[in-house]
Structure 1
Amino acid sequence: MNVPTTRFAPSPSGLLHLGNARTALFSLLAALPDGRFLLRIEDSDRARASPVFEHALRADLAWLGFAAHIDEAAVWRQSERGAVYDDFLQKLARDNLVYPCFCTESELAAERASQRARGLPPRYGGRCAALDPAAALARVAAGGAAVWRFRVPPGQEVTFCDVVRGPQRVATSLLGDFVVRRAQGEAMFFFANALDDALSGVTLVLRGEDHLANTPRQILILRALGLPVPEYGHLPLVLSAGGVPLSKRDGAGSLAALREEGFLPLAVINYLARLGAVVGSERLLPLMDLAQAFDRRRIGHAPARYDREQLLHWQRVAMAGTPVTEWLPWVAEYVPEADRLRFVEAVRPNALFPEDFRRWAGIVYGERRTLDEDARAAIGAAGAEFFRVAAAHLDAGGAAGDLPTVLKAAGHGGRRLFHGLRAALTGRLAGPELKDILALMPRALVARRLLECGSTDAQDL
């Protein structure tokens, strides 16, 4: 069996979003366990590329757990490979497969407008294709501004089997002679991209469907140069909740924002693995198990819509599956050492993000807690007598854990009892088990909060 080589080739022009991350994940899953997964930095657009964004995307890949599978010695940057692209352009020029084009932007715009008016798809008409090669080169040497265009062979079809979308067929008459090098000297994206894939040994390219139109052009280039053509698979776009494609330029759904919010990387990759694809298990799977379950034939064709609720589902599953001991460092600064394990065990069922441990540490051990409106209402409904009975029990040396029994014996039962106590102690009606709160919270703090509620109007707390 052939061992696949895949790649992730981001442009460092913005923060990676979930669509980019899914492309990276699918490419990695397709390579694991025995193939190669390459990283290439496509930074040829000097106006938009930034080392800041390259550092950020590297941090994102490391956070997701992908960095360990990247061969650092094989990381290429397009900005460092201009001489390679020039060499292959010259090879095409020697074979008369590219030519300089001197058409101005206004001339090209007029040509496109005329074609649209006649109901034709806009494409280059070939005005400069028939120029005498020697005269054209002399004009370039004299400083004439020219792009270089690839001569598309007429009357042919480019066919390939997209591993996601199936057989594809494009008539070369629809392509027109396309630009492979700008007038300023930089290689066009899809020229450099195709060369780097072939020269680095990539055998499978998984990328967004917005690149599908580039594929016939890239196949023509590689065939003309006698270079190997990889398999291609074009993934459906990932849309925002509002139905708009995610974009690096506006930071939509960025991995950096999810990391800052406290999402676990295992939750994110399990969500992404099922975003527009079918995984044969609904369990939380580590990366290598996801690779075993991954089947590129089960990637859907329709756009996938970002669903935060589904992401939160996997976050809950990942939080629940993380060993208790891993959360101890999160609370070391706030929780007495003797209480830490019990505290984490008590809070974990209510912790959606790691930061929730610290928030609950502040509630259980801090000097003040903030009451939400439901808690104020519960304290008011319980009444001052409720809290005076509770405080008197503690003053008499009674155990905090006995408060529910004492209050029930005094005629304060049902929802009012548990809501009143929970609201007074934590400032909210939902959270860890009340018995755990009573066991963990310092006795003096329990007494003070009960006295506050018994002597002060709930709206003033």
Structure 2
Amino acid sequence: MIKTRFAPSPTGLVHLGNIRTALFNALLAYHNQGIFLLRIEDTDQERSEQRYVEQLMADLRWLGLDWQEGNIETGSGQGQYAPYAQSQRGDIYNHYYQQLEQSGLVYPCFCSPEELSISRKLQRSAGQAPRYTGTCSHLQADEVANKLAQGLKPTLRFRVPRGEVIQFDDVVRGLQKFQSDDIGDFIIRRADNTPAFFFCNAVDDALMQVTHVLRGEDHLTNTPRQLLILNALGLTAPQYGHISLIVGTDNTPLSKRHGSRSIQALAAEGWLPIAINNYLARLGHSGGRNELLPLTELAADFDIKRLGKTPAKYDEDQLLYWQQQAVLHSDEQTLADWLNDTRTLVPEAQYAEFVSAIRGNITFPKDAILWAQILFAQHFAETENWDYSDPAREQIQQAGSAFFQQAVNALETANGAWSELTKVLKKTTDKKGKALFMPLRAALTGQTHGPEMGRLLPLLGQQEASLRLQRAADMSG
């Protein structure tokens, strides 16, 4: 059975890049009726915060990305491989550290950060790739004991074998080869005794029987290190796939300056989860149906062979497109919940008709609030506070007072029906097309664009519409 995982570090809010990784792993699991696992990699105790754990779980649930294993809210966790928070797995890691120590595959390193920094600078200046030179790799037992007695706290380094080729079949990028001599001995336990990413990430994937790991291409060079660790411990490695990174218009990693926001912020702005899922599912994944799909159908269309190798460029216009599709295709209950803030502005008896009328012309709840205020804040028509857009004012001035006086009379004849109003007014003013429709829209809504007037006029009501037409006549007189 296929098992994938999402293993974030709770050091901040999750953004689109993190969530796309979670989405791809979830879709791969769902497509194969497998298991999607959630693990929290919180070994960085200084930066990890419980509030970020709670928020990322809320974000996943909001998007519908349910995990079948790793519910850390219950303390011990849900699943046979609990706990699923790395901060609670110290004894497990110590067991494997001891195994490596007994095999002579690791050694304590007392080099200070300053010494390591100087070594890297010297290597770079000599045109060499920076890697650990092995200063502490041959310390004798008495030398180690002496340094420990001095109170020095060592890291633990893994001995990388020399002259080997580490290769694996990346499910996205194909065969990958690395020379062990280019890697250098690397740290698997920090000086504060917390496990390094290379180590605990690899061990947990193996112990939790994760079969497939989709992650960003920035982790590609981590893979040979993790394969060395797992091979040394006799543990089974998952199949790794390294997906393209999301970049901005300048081809640099996606960031705030490109418009990237946290999922929490996107939810607060009024983005719909199905819109985000549909956009991200196609960002770096080609083919499939190009229509708005629920998660089940996105999973059915997901094909690991269609994951891209080149950077995926973030395009907010595309995200907006999927948002508009989501609004158009949402069921009535979803829309009602999404537009909850308009409830106090719209009479209950007209609410369903209102939502139906504006659905095709809104992208966010704030747009609906604007139309609710336009249609139902009737006192604005009787005061100087009515908010006409500049193009609407221009249309009203161009049409002139006589046009709107005729419109008031035509409205009465038409009994408030838009088709009859325009039919009568066309005859009495000899205007047609834009010259007929645009001034009427401007006078009745204060806007020059929006939902069909045939659906808005009944919501306004004949009395309010007449007041607004008379006001336009007064304004242009």
TM-score (norm 2): 0.90
Q: Which amino acid aligns with 1:28?
A: A
> In structure 2, do the counterparts of structure 1 residues 326 and 110 end up closer, same or farther at CA, with 3 Å as the change threshold?
closer
Dislocated runs of 4+, deviation >6 Å: 248-251
Whole-Å Cα distance in 2 between the matches of residues 350 and 378 of structure 1? Answer: 21
Instruction: Kindly indicate whether the alpha-carbon contact (under 8 Å) linking 2:414 and 2:421 is maintained by their aligned counterparts in 1.
Output: no
In 1, distance between residues paired with 2:211 and 2:205? 8
- Partner of residue 338 from structure 1, selected from 349, 362, 382: 349
Alpha-carbon RMSD: 2.2
- What residue is the counterpart of 2:97 in the other structure? 89
Partner of 1:106: 114
Whether 1:353 and 2:364 are equivalent positions in the alignment is yes
One-letter identity of the residue aligned with 1:411: T
Q: 1:399 maps to which residue?
A: 416
Distance 1:441 1:48, change over 3 A: same
Count of residues in Structure 1 that have an aligned counterpart in Structure 2 = 456
- 1:99 and 1:133 in contact (8 A); partners too: no
Task: Name whichever of 119-128 and 238-247 sits farther off.
Answer: 238-247
Indicate the residue corresponding to 2:36 in structure 1: 37
1:366 paired with 2:384, answer no
Q: Give the drift of 1:215.
A: 0.7
- Deviation, 1:221, is 0.6
Displacement of 1:318 in angstroms is 1.7
Question: What is the deviation of 1:70?
Answer: 4.9
Return the match for 1:385 from 402, 424, 441: 402
Deviations 1:111-132 (A, max 9, x none): 2222223221111111111111
325 and 142 in structure 1: CA distance in 2 versus 1, 3 angstrom threshold: closer
TM-fit CA distance, 1:339: 2.0
Look up the SS of the partner of 1:76 in the other structure. Answer: coil
Counterpart of 1:235 in structure 2 is: 243
* Compared CA separation, residues 448 and 70, structure 1 to 2 (3 A): farther
Deviates more, 1:355-364 or 1:176-185: 355-364
> Letter of the aligned partner of 1:46 in structure 2?
Q
Cα distance in 2, alignment partners of residues 280 and 79 from structure 1:
40
Per-residue deviation at 1:250? 10
Code of the aligned partner of 1:358: I
Distance 2:105 2:98 in 1: 10
**In the TM superposition, what are the counterparts of 1:182-331 in structure 2 within 5 Å?**
182-247=190-255, 252-328=260-336, 330=339, 331=342
Q: Distance in 2 between matches of 1:398 and 1:283?
A: 41
| CA–CA separation in structure 1 for the residues paired with 2:257 and 2:430 | 58
- Does the 8 Å CA contact 1:14/1:249 hold for their aligned counterparts? no
Q: Secondary structure at the match of 1:86?
A: helix
Aligned AA for 1:335? V
User: Residue 445 of structure 1 aligns to which amino acid in structure 2?
Assistant: E
Take 1:113 and 1:396, find their aligned partners in 2: how far apart are those partners?
87
Q: State the 1:138 CA deviation.
A: 5.3
* 1:435 Cα offset (Å): 1.3
3-state DSSP class of the match of 2:39? Answer: strand
More off after superposition, 293-302 vs 437-446: 437-446
Q: Is the 8 A contact 2:247 2:311 kept in 1?
A: yes
The residue type paired with residue 51 of structure 1 is Q
* Equivalence for 2:18: 20
Cα deviation for residue 203 of structure 1 reads: 1.0
What is the match of residue 455 of structure 1?
Answer: 474
User: SS of 1:271's equivalent?
Assistant: helix
- 1:247 is displaced (CA, Å) by 4.7
C-alpha separation between the residues in 1 aligned to 2:258 and 2:177?
34
Percent identity (aligned): 45
Instruction: Tell me how far apart the structure 1 counterparts of residues 222 and 327 of structure 2 sit (CA, whole Å).
Output: 41
What is the Cα deviation at residue 85 of structure 1?
1.6
SS at the partner of 1:349? helix
CA deviations on 1:47-82 (whole Å, 9 max, x unpaired) are 222222222211210111013645521461122222
CA distance in 1, matches of 2:310, 2:230: 29
The letter of the residue matching 2:185 is D
Following the alignment from structure 1 to structure 2, what is the Cα–Cα distance between the partners of residues 146 and 326?
A: 56
Is the Cα–Cα contact under 8 Å of residues 419 and 429 in structure 1 kept in the other structure? yes
State the distance in 2 between where 1:70 and 1:380 align: 65
State the distance in 2 between where 1:366 and 1:339 align. 14
TM-score (norm 1): 0.93
